[in-house]
């Protein structure tokens, strides 16, 4: 079938097998008679077909198309945080596509459309259920397994394998055992039997995703065992079937006393996992969040990424906009991800160089739901597209990806494409302007994470502190403070430890500084905060003006949908501006040099 869609292959397209090509790779060769797609396997044929359609849609002609392409990593994973009740944790696009009222429940045609959508951007692994596995969701590997197998079968023709999120305590919860101790023989036998059952139903299952010892989830540490002990007992059960364990490294003390100034949440993943390098079985993949905090607007890359030379790793991104506007505010994540991939890991090497080597997989938290446009905000579709493109080819730029997305979505008219492209490229910086400045994190409303609350998390148990007082703000993470910088390569350790060399956008992540500290611009730190927050709100007004000017060139439904979101974004930007500026004015007593309205 042509791209699994059931339609006949377009005339002039031929397929040939070339065993010399890597798995999933393809070669397109155009000519006057049409286009040849060569691949070593069926997946490569499919990806080549999608690439050809994209090239043609963007104005290419068969005679001019010539490319050979292979993915940087073999596993490009989308993690959905959908619950069987039908709600979606951190979901901003409606209800679940897969579950309803405690059951596996979906529209078969829409599932086929969704599988095609994901395959078209190169995603080849999907976890349908939330990593925070409820007792109800735990039953996806028992009495609900047959229904899940039918869902997996819809995605299989698109070369997308299923992953199941499982509860580490399943031997107790489902098996009636008295313990989930990974070194207990009965526990190992239970996991082996569970794997046998699951693989009979879903023979090509990619594996299990596990969140353990994290945010009140059960795990091996509570039993005096290591993270490797916990991961390996499940990995050994899956290994006979070719399955893997995707073990999340989001493990930290989530009951920290705010008075404790030595415990530092960003240190946790490295402290827990780096000493265990080489202890994990070879079918364990450690899934590491790209930053050491939690998908914040600005944070450094995790020092754990690439540090474990004898352990497979996956980099985890977040497509759903939990801390980046929740698909209300425009935020083109491709810009941030390009920054993440461009960040140094030493004096000569960037994170991009780790992908496909130390980093063997790329995973992301999905942003889709049952809204008619999939993502709530029509322009947020670009984030799902960008994840797939970058997971396949991390050398791509945000400009290239977003330009392609606009062309494929709205057409190639330069009068629309260029203004919208510039608006989307600017969106990441604009959001950062009116959000937490200079690498500060967690100045959001507690629990739901939308809108400003400068001290919402400041006295909480989550380890999310900025420690502002009347004179200074920030956390000293150098050797004189928490020692976090010592986890980095010596080049980065020196770079981050000195305020004069630390990238200014991360200045308050690594340092505690007075409000009167002078930045490279000549402004004081506090004046920079005032200025950027006023600028950010003004920039959103500019977005609205740009979008309104594009109305004649846009589909009516898209225009009105995005226009409504931009109006909500402006309210949010103004709220951030007023709350953050007022907070720092009241803390410091230092006025804005331009005399703009700040509330006393």
Say yes or no to pLDDT of 247 above 90. yes
Residue 486 lies in a domain: no
- pTM for this predicted structure: 0.97
For residue 432, what pLDDT is reported?
98
Could you say which of 82, 294, 426, 592 is catalytic? 294
Q: Which domain holds residue 401?
A: 397-475+512-600
Would the pLDDT of 361 be above 60?
yes
With b meaning 16 or more CB within 10 Å and e meaning fewer, what string describes 40-78?
Answer: bbebbbbbbbbbbbebeeeebebeebeeebbbbbebbbb
Give burial (CB, 10 Å; 0-12/13-18/19+) of 556.
Answer: exposed
**229 and 301 in a common domain:** yes
Report yes or no on 5 lying in a domain: no
Residues 317 and 406 occupy one common structural domain? no
Res 11: pLDDT: 75
* Residue 362, pLDDT above cutoff 80: yes
Q: How many domains does the chain have?
A: 3
My answer on whether 227 and 346 are in the same domain is yes
Q: Which position has the token pair 């890359």?
A: 301
Do 406 and 308 share a structural domain?
Answer: no
Q: Is the pLDDT of residue 233 over 70?
A: yes
pLDDT value for 36: 95
pLDDT at residue 33 in the model: 83
Question: Is residue 9's pLDDT more than 80?
Answer: no
Catalytic pick among 63, 215, 255, 479: 215
Q: Based on the domain organization, do 154 and 290 belong to the same domain?
A: yes
- The 10s digit of each residue's pLDDT in 60-99 is 998 889 999 999 999 999 999 999 999 999 999 999 999 9
Average pLDDT over residues 341-365: 95
What is the C-alpha R_g of the chain? 24
Q: How many CB atoms lie within 10 A of CB 161?
A: 18
* Rounded alpha-carbon distances, angstroms, from residue 471 to 172, 474, 589: 52, 11, 9
Residues 285 and 411 in one domain: no
CB 515 within 8 A of CB 473: yes
Confidence at residue 1, expressed as pLDDT on a 0 to 100 scale: 53
Same domain, residue pair 552 and 464: yes
Model confidence pLDDT, tens digit, residues 254-305: 999 999 999 999 999 999 999 999 999 999 999 999 999 999 999 999 999 9
Q: How far is CA 534 from CA 37, 83, 324, in A?
A: 52, 39, 18
SS3 label, residue 419? helix
Note whether 289 and 358 are same-domain residues: yes
Burial class from Cβ neighbours inside 10 Å (0-12, 13-18, 19+) for residue 414 reads exposed
- Check whether residue 551 and residue 403 sit in a common domain: yes
With respect to residue 299, please indicate whether it lies within any of the assigned structural domains: yes
Catalytic residue among 38, 218, 264, 322: 322
CATH number of the domain that 52 lies in?
3.30.379.10
Closest of 127, 18, 116 to residue 75, by C-alpha: 127
pLDDT of 32 reads 85
Kindly write down the DSSP assignment for every residue of 132-158, as one continuous string.
S--HHHHGGGTTTHHHHHHHHHHHGGG
User: Where are the extended beta strands (E) located within 53-140?
Assistant: 66-69, 75-82, 99-100, 103-104, 125-129
* Domain termination residue (choose one: 396, 423, 453): 396
CATH number of the CATH domain containing 572 = 3.90.1330.10
pLDDT at residue 190 is higher than 90: yes
Q: What is the pLDDT of residues 422-461, one digit of tens each?
A: 999 999 999 999 998 999 999 999 999 999 999 999 999 9
The last residue of one of the domains, among 396, 422, 445, is 396
Q: What's residue 8's pLDDT? A: 58
Q: pLDDT tens digits for 153-169?
A: 999 999 999 999 999 99
**Domain for residue 6, yes or no?**
no
Distance (Å, whole) CA 459 – CA 257: 8
Asked if residue 414 belongs to a domain, the reply is yes
Is 481 part of a structural domain of the chain?
Answer: no
User: Is residue 79 helix, strand or coil?
Assistant: strand
- Residue 300 in tokens: 């450094």
CATH number at residue 117: 3.20.20.80
* Residue finishing a domain among 54, 69, 84: 69
Same domain membership, residue 412 and residue 280:
no
| Same domain as 98, residue 49 | no
Which pLDDT does position 4 carry in this prediction? 67
- Residues 183 and 251 reside in one and the same domain: yes
Active site residue 167: no
For 477-505, what is each residue's pLDDT tens digit?
999 999 999 999 999 999 999 999 999 99
pLDDT band of residue 7 (cuts 50, 70, 90) is: low
Over range 569-594, report the average pLDDT.
Answer: 98
- The span from the CA of 592 to the CA of 272, in Å, is 44
- At residue 5, the pLDDT reads 57
Query: Given this model, what pLDDT does residue 306 score?
Result: 94
488 in a structural domain: no
CA atoms of 40 and 42, how far apart (whole Å): 7
Comparing 34 with 195, the larger pLDDT belongs to: 195
Opening angle at CA 174, ends 169 and 176, nearest 5: 90
Q: Which residues of 215-234 are buried (b: 16+ CB within 10 A; e: fewer)?
A: eebbbbbebebbbbbbbbbb
- Identify whether 480 is part of a domain: no
């Amino acid at each position: 079938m042509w791209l699994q869609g059931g339609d006949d292959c377009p005339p002039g397209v031929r397929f040939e097998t070339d065993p010399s090509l890597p798995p999933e790779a393809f070669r397109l060769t155009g000519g006057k008679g049409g286009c040849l797609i060569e691949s070593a396997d069926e997946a490569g044929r499919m990806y080549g077909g999608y690439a050809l359609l994209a090239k043609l849609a963007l104005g290419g002609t068969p005679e001019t198309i010539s490319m050979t392409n292979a993915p940087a990593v073999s596993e490009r994973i989308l993690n959905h945080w959908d619950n069987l009740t039908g709600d979606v944790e951190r979901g901003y696009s409606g209800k679940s596509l897969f579950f309803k009222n405690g059951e596996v429940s979906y529209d078969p045609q829409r599932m086929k459309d969704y599988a095609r959508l994901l395959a078209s951007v190169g995603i080849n692994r999907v976890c349908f259920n939330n990593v925070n596995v409820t007792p109800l969701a735990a039953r996806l590997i028992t009495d609900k397994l047959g229904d899940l197998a039918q869902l997996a079968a819809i995605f299989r023709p698109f070369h997308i394998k299923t992953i199941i999120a499982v509860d580490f305590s399943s031997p107790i919860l489902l098996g009636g055992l008295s313990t989930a101790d990974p070194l207990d023989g009965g526990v190992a036998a239970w996991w082996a039997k569970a794997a046998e059952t699951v693989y009979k139903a879903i023979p090509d299952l990619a594996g299990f995703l596990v969140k353990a010892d994290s945010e009140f989830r059960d795990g091996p540490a509570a039993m005096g065992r290591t993270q490797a002990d916990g991961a390996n007992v499940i990995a050994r059960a899956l290994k006979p079937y070719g399955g893997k364990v995707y073990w999340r490294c989001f493990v930290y003390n989530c009951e920290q006393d705010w008075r404790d100034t030595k415990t530092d949440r960003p240190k946790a993943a490295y402290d827990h996992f780096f000493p265990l390098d080489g202890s994990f079985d070879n079918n364990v993949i450690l899934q590491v969040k790209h930053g050491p905090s939690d998908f914040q607007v600005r944070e450094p890359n995790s020092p754990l990424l690439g540090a474990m030379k004898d352990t497979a790793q996956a980099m985890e991104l977040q497509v759903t906009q939990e801390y980046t506007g929740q698909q209300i505010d425009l935020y083109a994540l491709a810009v941030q991800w390009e920054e993440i991939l461009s960040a140094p890991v030493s004096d000569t090497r960037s994170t991009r160089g780790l992908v496909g080597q130390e980093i063997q997989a790329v995973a992301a938290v999905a942003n889709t739901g049952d809204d008619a446009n999939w993502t709530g905000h029509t322009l947020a579709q670009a984030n799902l597209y960008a994840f797939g493109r970058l997971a396949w080819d991390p050398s791509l730029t945000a400009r290239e990806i977003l330009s392609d997305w606009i062309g494929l979505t709205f057409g190639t008219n330069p009068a629309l494409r260029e203004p919208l492209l510039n608006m989307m490229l600017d969106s990441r910086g604009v959001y950062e302007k009116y959000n937490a400045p200079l690498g500060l994190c967690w100045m959001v409303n507690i629990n739901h994470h939308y809108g400003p609350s400068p001290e919402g998390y400041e006295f909480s148990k989550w380890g999310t502190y900025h420690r502002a007082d009347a004179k200074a703000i920030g956390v000293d993470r150098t050797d004189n403070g928490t020692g976090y910088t010592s986890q980095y390569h010596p080049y980065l350790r020196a770079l981050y430890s000195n305020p004069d060399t630390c990238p200014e956008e991360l200045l308050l992540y690594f340092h505690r500084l007075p409000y009167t500290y002078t930045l490279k611009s000549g402004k004081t730190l506090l004046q920079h905060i005032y200025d950027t927050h006023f600028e950010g709100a003004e920039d959103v007004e500019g977005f609205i003006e740009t979008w309104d000017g594009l109305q004649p060139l846009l589909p009516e439904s898209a225009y009105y949908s995005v226009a409504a979101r931009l109006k909500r974004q402006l309210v949010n930007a103004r709220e951030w501006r007023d709350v953050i500026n007022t907070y720092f004015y009241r803390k410091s007593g230092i006025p804005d040099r331009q005399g703009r309205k700040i509330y006393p």
